[in-house]
Structures are given as structure tokens and as C-alpha cells.
Structure 1
Amino acid sequence: MRWFGNKGAEKLMEIHEKRDRFMQDLIQGHRERKFDASSKGREKTMIEVLLSLHETEPEYYTDETIRGLIVVLFQAGSDTSVGTMEWAISHLLNNPQILKKAQTEIDNHVGHNRLFAESDVGELPYLNCIITETLRMNPPAPFLVPHESSEECTVGGFRIPSGTMLMVNVWGIQNDPKVWVDPDKFMPERFEGPEGTKNGFKLMPFGSGRRGCPGENLAMRMVGLAVGSLLQCFDWERISKELVDMTEGTAVTMSKATPLMAKCQPRAAATGLLSLLN
């Protein structure tokens, strides 16, 4: 916080308090809607789901916890997902044979008579392997979020006092040549088969356990839907013969140092599908 100076820190606190008030107003509004007769029969919002959990576990699903979960979905669910899509397309452009294999899988499952849907994501194992391999090489949060040791412990021979702030270098774990074969090579096939995703703590782009990212399933579906739709409808190629620059930028989240630029054109079989978007 010293980096921001006194005025900067005060401004951040004001923004934090303003955001909390806004979130609390949302929660209160949903509480009131719960008793509105017109709300019966419709699907619940995320806040309403959390409020229903509050009824069964009030000691855990407090307003403070609900505010925190909603903030995570807002803040961590946009930039990180877009960044993962950009990394995925970049890897595919540098590996056109993998891109074609993914398009073939989509064509065989979805066909050319309808647009790619969210429900298709779970039925496309190779597409999911591509996304998982992207998350391995370019985790959205390379150090995850800060954790704090609840009690003194020893990890790898090091004494960790209670109350220590801990940062997990998940990028280092997921790109470690002692753990992965050819970690610098984009190989979605490494995650194929029933054993492909059983990697213990070798792969944890969303963290792990109770403190893991609550938006993991949503992120996988949204990224899969976006990338799958782009592959179904367009043919992609690099803007030159040079490979896409995969240099990593400097930020809290894993962004590309050079934003992706690529050429695309509608696939012949998708011309009719694209007209449905108008």
C-alpha cells in the first residue's frame, strides 16, 4: 500500500467502501424480491442461490461472504477469461495442426446446421484439453491469490509461522520440467484419456480445496463456448509467417506482452450460421 501513498490508499479505501455498499444494496434488493409473488417460477440469480444457502448455513454464508463471492465473479471472471481465450487462440495459430483437429471435432459433434452451444462444451474432450493445456502454460493468476497460514507448520523443511502471507507460484509448478514432459511445448494430448486430468497438485490454475476459485466451472464453460464458437465459424491464420509472440506481460494476471493480432475469414460451411447472428 506504500506504493500508492497516503492519498492513494485513502482513495482505494473509499472505492472499497463504495463497492461494498453497492453489493450490499444488491443483496438487500434480492432479499426483498424473494417475497415478491411475480418472482415465482423463474430461474434464480447467483445472489438468490447464495441467499438460499444462507438459510441452511448462516454461520458461513454471511452477507460479507456473499459480497466477497460476487466481487470475485465480477472482477476475476472477466479479464482472466478474456486473457485465457487470447492465449488459447495464440497457441492454436502457432500450432495449425491442433487448430484443424479441434475444428474437425467440432464439425463432427455440432455439425453445420446450428451454432455452437454451451451444452456442447462438455461433449468435446479435445477442445477441453486445449483449454486445460492453455491454463497449464499460461495460468490467469500465476501466483494465485494471497493465502495466510492459519497455524504454524513446516513445508519442505521451512518453518511457516502462523499468520504468514503465502504466495503459490502455480506458474512455476505447471511449467516445471521435473514435473512435466516438455513443459514448453503446447501439447493438449497430454490431458487425453481418463488419467489426463488426475494431476493432483501439479495442475491447479484455479487453486485447490475450499479456497479454490468458485468460478472454475463457469470459466471453463464460458471460455470453451467462446473458443469453440470462433473455431466453428472462422478459419484463422497468422498475420505473417512469423510465429505469434508468446511473451508474457507484467501484471497481476497473466496477459500477453503484445496483444494478439490475427486474420480470420468465415468458413464456407458456416456462412449460413453467421447469418443467424444478425
Structure 2
Amino acid sequence: MIKLILLLVLAYFIYEKIFKFYYRYWFYRRQGIPACGIPWPILGTLWPVKRVLDNLGPYSKTILEEYWHNYFGEELPPIFSDHRMPCASIIFCDPTYVNEIYTTKTKYMDKHPKFYRISYEQFKDSTFLQRSTELWAQKRKHLSQAFYKDKIKVMLKSAISVTNKRVQEWKKISTSENPIIVLNKQVQELIDDVVQVCVFGQSVLKKEIAYTEYGQAENRSIGKFLRFLTQNIFLRYGGIRQMTDWFDYLPVTRYEAEVFKNARHFRVFVQKLIDERRAEMKNPNWQSQGDFLTLMLQDEFFNSDEMIIDECNSFMIAANITTSITLTNALFYLIKHPNILQRVREECIKDLDVKEGLKNLSDEKWGDLLTYEGISSCNYLQYCILETLRIDPPARVTSPHCFTETIDVCGKVIKADTQWHVDIQYLHHNPKEWIDHEEFIPERFDPSSKYYLTPTGSKRHPMSFGPFLGGKRICLGKTFAESILKCILPVIFNQVDFEFEDKELLKRKPINTFLQEEPSYLVRLKQLA
């Protein structure tokens, strides 16, 4: 009996780690799909990935991007296969493929089950990772109501108030003996507060939670806690789990056991917030702050605390990472291009019809100006935000997805269990679609500009720009992120000025993205003339 079991295990191992690697390689190569190297038995193409990891620097692309470009060069094929895993990965780099996935094939889109298993300890069955079932569709429908115009207005007022208070601190720093800040660190702290207020309400703003690392507990803001937790959860996708699914749900090191403990600790923390909010809501004088948690508690559909915790968890981390990276990048490019910064300031004053200027406004006055309707009239501000999302998207490559069945995409047959990614960064820098794609040019989103067209003068493919994924799995918080950015940026750049303290930043920009070592953008705060 033992021999039979051992033989079955060996047979499975040979099939999964040798035969399947080469079968999938052959399956996609015979369709004319280029491969990112020939896989080795067991290891696949992990060895080149290891070399990339050993040579990453502050100006490198993300790990996967470096790995792909090291093999193919600067220009990637429209579609290619990657064999780090037995099931293979397909990478889509051309808007034609992306268009078919997001439109006629969107009903087959889903998160890859391995990504779900790896992240389960933190996100459980949140809409971020849950498979596309009827329950998932119902949850998305109810969650989307939080971003309706009347609901998001209340969140925007809270975000503006938090931002203005932070800017007043920056104004004081600008007149101090040491007016130097680390831009991305300050922005992260600001967005931690903004998202925390929008998700949990003003009463939770200064609450902290203890994060345990190597046996030492340290109190952190909710946003900082979640960034560290999510980063460590996602890092589980590498290493031994690239070669086997056996440990997807399990911690394999003492450090991972601590990560799991932190994930459970956060869920207990949110449960306490839910209990406190329910108690507050029983008070006849209680007034809603329009936060995400309260909206879910008022919706009878969310009849399970576990469901509410799942959605608070995923929405907060998604909003935090997307908004903090994009806001940092937007300020970086505006500082680098003072002529663009000056123009967007002037356009804001004109579009918002403020004759006395925008230097010293109260929270209330800012809230009255930057309404949902008011910010929609600030076209050049919108162009600057879109160009930031294009040149430096917060997610440069999509998370692992799959199709629910074997399907044809633009004449290429993709197996159901093959994971796939869209290379957003490459779409946004496709030289066939974008004029001077390495330059920060907000006018490329102005229909009257020559930059609105391709280098040949034709209309750009609509899928050449897509920072928020698409189809039925499009980012649920897209409207929230865009609206928050349009409110926060004017409050900042109309009250304080900036200058790079590190002059190297004028020459090139260290990468600012999730899951890689964070750079330090040293900036001098200045009084606005």
C-alpha cells in the first residue's frame, strides 16, 4: 500500500512538474505565441527571475517587467507565455487582446484560484478575490452604491478636511529651519488618514493597531498596518509556492506564522469597530458620517460581520495603495515640471471661479469649492491625473487572473487554468499608440491636442489606457480614487510650493510601486509666492 502511494505521488510529481511544463510550453508555442525562455524540469523559468531579484535597483522596473524585458528586449510581443509555473502564464501587451478580454470575453474573467488561496488569510471572501459567483455579483452591486454621487460627496468633504489640516502643518514646516520632507512618506501618512476616515469615520482617525514582527509589537496607523500586512501576504506568492500548491493556505516559516497572526489581529480590530459603531447608531442623536463601514451596516444585504470585515479590509488597502502612489507620482511630476504646475494652479482658480485665490481657505470653503460638480469642471487637473496614471500606473501589471473555461482570444486558445496578466505599463508606453511616451504631457488627454492621437495621426485604441483593469473585474473603487485625487491635489498645490532637494530627481525617477523597496523623494517645502 505504501509503495502504491509513493508511486502515485511520484507519478503526480512527474506529470505536474515535468510533463505539464513542457506540454504547456508546446501548446502555446505551436500557436505562434513566443515564450519567455524554455522551462527547466521542476524549476520552470524561475532561475532568470532569481537573477533579476539579485540585480534590482532603485531605477529598475518591477520584478516581472525586468524579467520579461531581459528576455525580449525593450519591445515586448503583443502576447507571450511565461513558464515560471506548470500551468503557464500568458501576458497580454496589445490593446486588441485586452479589448476582447474586457468586452466579449469578460464573462469568463476571474481571479486565479492560486492568488485567492495565497491571500485568503487576509481577504477571505472579499469581492477583490472571490470567484465570480451570483453572491459576488450581488456584493459588487451593493458595494457600488457607496460610490454613488450623493454618497461620495460626504466622503470628499471628510477627505478635504483631513488634507487641509495636513497642508497647514506643511506650511509651518516650510518656514522652519529644516523645511525638508520625504514626499512619499508624508503622502502615505496623509492618505492613511484620508482613507481611514472614508472607510471608518472621523472617530477612528487616530486609532492605532499593534503589528508584530520578529516577536516585537509596534503600534501603527491602520493604513501602515495594512500595507505591511498585504505586502507580506502577497510575497507568499513567490518561493516554494511557485513550484507547488500544497502550502498555499499554510504558513511555512515562523515569520509567515506572524503574518497570519497579524491578519487575524486586524479582523478582531475591525470587529471591535463594528461593535462600537452599532452601539453609536442606537443613540437617537447619532448622525452618519457617510463612511464605508456605516453604509454597509445600514444595508440589510450585509447581514454577516465576516462579510463586512472582508470588504473593509480589501477596500481600505486597495484605496490606500492606489491613491498614495498616484498622489505621490502626481506631485513628483508637477514638481519636475513647474510650467505644468503653474498652469494647473491658474486653471483651478479659473475653473473654480475664485477671484481672491486659494492660499488660505478654511475646510468649509474648500469643501464648498471642491464639490463633486466643481471638480468635474477642472479639465486640466483631470488631464494631469490621467497622465500620471498613464506614465506611472499604481499597478504596473495586473494581479493573476484566469478564464473560467478554455477560450479563444483573438485566435489564440488559452487554457482555463493558465494564469494571465495584462501588462498595463507596456500598454501605457506602447510607442505605436503614444507620442513621446516617456514624457509627462497632460495634453495627450485633451481631444484638441496633437498628443491625443497616435504618432501616425490616427485615433488611439481605447484599451491603450487602462490603469483600473476592465470588464466585470474593473476596480470597484475607481470613481472613489479619481474623485479623491481631484479633491486633494488642489488643496495641496494651491497652498504650498515644492522643490526637489535631491537634484538627481530632476534627471530620473526611482520607481515608486507596491512590493518593492520604497524610495525617498527628498523635497523642500516653500511658501507659495
Question: Structure 2 length normalisation: TM-score?
Answer: 0.43
Change over 3 Å in CA distance of 1:162–1:22 after alignment to 2: farther
1:223 counterpart SS class: helix
CA distance in 2, matches of 1:137, 1:65: 36
Residue 207 (structure 2) aligns with:
none
Q: 1:260 and 2:521 equivalent? A: yes
CA distance in 2, matches of 1:44, 1:91: 33
CA distance in 1, matches of 2:493, 2:423: 32
Match for residue 222 of structure 1 among 481, 484, 508 = 484
Q: 1:204 and 2:446 equivalent? A: no
Residue 122 (structure 1) aligns with:
376
Q: Is the 8 A contact 2:433 2:461 kept in 1?
A: no
1:37 counterpart SS class: coil
Decide which structure has the larger Cα Rg and report it: 2
CA distance in 1, matches of 2:485, 2:526: 21
Match for residue 10 of structure 1 among 257, 272, 289 = 257
The alpha-carbon deviation at position 134 of structure 1 amounts to 0.2
Q: Number of residues paired by the alignment?
A: 260
Structure 1 unpaired stretches of 5+: 269-278
Residue 81 (structure 1) aligns with:
323
1:90 counterpart SS class: helix
Residue 271 (structure 1) aligns with:
none
After TM superposition, the structure 1 = structure 2 runs for residues 242-261 of structure 1, keeping only pairs within 5 Å, are 243-249=506-512, 251-252=514-515, 258-261=519-522
Q: 2:464 is aligned with what amino acid?
A: K
Residue 75 (structure 2) aligns with:
none
After TM superposition, the structure 1 = structure 2 runs for residues 115-194 of structure 1, keeping only pairs within 5 Å, are 115=361, 116-117=366-367, 118-119=370-371, 120-193=374-447
CA distance in 2, matches of 1:224, 1:212: 20
1:85 counterpart SS class: helix
Change over 3 Å in CA distance of 1:93–1:45 after alignment to 2: closer
Change over 3 Å in CA distance of 1:144–1:174 after alignment to 2: same
Structure 2 unpaired stretches of 5+: 1-235, 240-250, 453-459
Which structure has more relative contact order (CA 8 Å, sep 6+)? It is 2
Q: Is the 8 A contact 1:235 1:266 kept in 2?
A: yes
2:498 counterpart SS class: strand
Quote the RMSD (CA, aligned, Å).
3.2
The alpha-carbon deviation at position 186 of structure 1 amounts to 1.0
1:38 counterpart SS class: coil
CA distance in 2, matches of 1:20, 1:76: 17
2:422 counterpart SS class: coil
Q: Which stretch has the larger CA shift, 159-168 or 80-89?
A: 159-168
The alpha-carbon deviation at position 92 of structure 1 amounts to 1.7
Q: Which stretch has the larger CA shift, 3-12 or 215-224?
A: 3-12
Q: Is the 8 A contact 2:395 2:513 kept in 1?
A: no
Q: Is the 8 A contact 1:141 1:252 kept in 2?
A: no
CA distance in 2, matches of 1:238, 1:19: 37
The alpha-carbon deviation at position 81 of structure 1 amounts to 1.9
Q: 1:220 is aligned with what amino acid?
A: E
1:78 counterpart SS class: helix
Q: 1:215 is aligned with what amino acid?
A: G
Q: Is the 8 A contact 1:94 1:244 kept in 2?
A: no
The alpha-carbon deviation at position 240 of structure 1 amounts to 6.9
Q: Equivalent pairs: percent with the same residue?
A: 24
